Chains A and B, each alone.
Chain A
Amino acid sequence: MPKQTPSQTVGPYFAYGLTPQPYGRPGIADGRIVNETVPGERIIVTGQVIDGAGKPVIDSMIEIWQADAQGRYAHPADGREAVFHGFGRTGTDETGTFRIETVKPGRVTGSDAKPQAPHLNVTVFARGMPNHAYTRIYFSDESAANETDTVLGLVDRDRRGTLIAARQETAGGPVYRFDINLQGDNETVFFDP
């Protein structure tokens, strides 16, 4: 049987290949996951990617995969008709900041048939990361659902906070803050799915 092809870093120069819009080329996705027609609560998720010295990581990329507001994924394994594609990809800027415009996802059934708390699935890529990292973004205003979420339940209580984006109401609508700490006391919880 063939074995898994080893992962390698995206390196410093992935932008013109993976997020080429600033180079005048169409990309497969950007940080705007929804258009005007997609139903659901409009949210912005933003934060910084931070290294082990507390410095912003200006050459990283995150990808988001999410269900629609009804908790449906646009994929044959789901089998229902999701109303949008649900994939986003964006690099971090010169302050290490990313920004995602989307709708808050609905609840998705877990592997144990229990509803999961709403979440965004996240991958993190960067120069200096030989493998991408997996994490999830949960929402601070879903504390009841978060309390019963099976995946959050696998995480030590004192580290769960790293997975929960803090909601702020702004004139432009709800904004969730979610920093990704690659290392340190407050290292974001990364999964091995």
Chain B
Amino acid sequence: MKPNTEYTRRDWDSHPPYIVPDYKSTLLRGPKKPLIPIPHSLSELTGPVFGHDKVGPLDHDLTKNGVQNGDPLGERIIVTGRVLDEAGRSVPHTLVELWQANAAGRYVHRWDQHNAPLDPNFFGGGRTVTDAEGRYRFITIKPGAYPWGNHHNAWRPNHIHFSLFGPSFVTRLVTQMYFPGDPLLEYDPIYQGIPEISRSRLISRFSLDVTEPMQALGYEFDIVLRGPRATPVDED
């Protein structure tokens, strides 16, 4: 494979800024000095490649991968989509990691003190690798909303965290998927910190085609990573 000469740059019209004043913990954590653009060498054009050896047989099925003595509680859902680049090409064989709260809005994380119940049969973490067409598919439980301390009566909308690598170190992306029609989106400073033009890209689509009768509702969520810059290089 011929190395790309460059990837496209982070599109700051699409991403939130580092400091979103209404999202309070950004105030002391977001870098303030200007970022320095750098050219793309092999250090940027390469990145970790993960194979199926990192993915266990139940890792994509969160309704099964945490079971101790029964099925997890909550609404079963299927979350599926394609990982693409900005030219619309699929990103095959790339690792997709995911984590989320349980149906009651409680995370397994040891620091989560929310007084909603843990579910002994739900862990909330999973991973998979996209297929040759860039498709991924998870089976899980619809996560609950949960309160947080950002401001009075702050609640995070239902969401699933996604982590992706893509083909290089510069295509790395961590994001959150939301659900259509969630009334909390309007009040969530993390979601509202995204430029208005690009926010809706994080809202999954309900799909009756993906929905399995008598089994689980289906949601589609496509993810677009930075792609190779479309400058053909003369082989001669």
Contacts and interface: CB of A to CB of B under 8 A. Distances in A.
Interface string B94-129: 010111010000011101100000000001110100
A8 B24 CA distance: 14
Q: At the interface, is chain A mostly helix, strand, loop or mixed? A: loop
Given A10-B174, A51-B29, 5 more contacts: A4-B10, A4-B225, A63-B172, A65-B169, A183-B32
A161 interface: no
A144 to B, nearest CB: 19
Size category of the binding interface on chain A: 35 or more
Interface of A: 1-18, 20, 23, 25-26, 28-29, 51-53, 55, 57, 59, 63, 65, 67, 73-79, 85-87, 108-112, 116, 119, 121, 123, 125-134, 136, 150-151, 154-155, 159, 182-183, 187-193
17 contacts: A2-B84, A5-B202, A8-B175, A10-B161, A10-B163, A12-B109, A16-B99, A65-B47, A75-B48, A119-B43, A126-B29, A128-B24, A130-B23, A130-B194, A132-B174, A155-B36, A187-B32
Given A65-B48, A128-B23, A5 B223 contact: yes
A120 B163 CA distance: 21
A154 B41 CA distance: 14
B50 interface: yes
Contacts of A67: 42-43
Contacts of A112: 39
A177 to B, nearest CB: 20
B224 A193 contact: no
A130 B15 contact: yes
A78 B201 contact: no
B170 interface: yes
Contacts of A10: 161, 163, 174
Q: 9 closest pairs, A vs B, by CB?
A: A17-B99, A128-B25, A75-B46, A128-B29, A87-B48, A192-B35, A13-B109, A52-B28, A111-B39
Interface in B44-76: 44-50, 54, 56
Contacts of A182: 28-31
A109 B31 contact: no
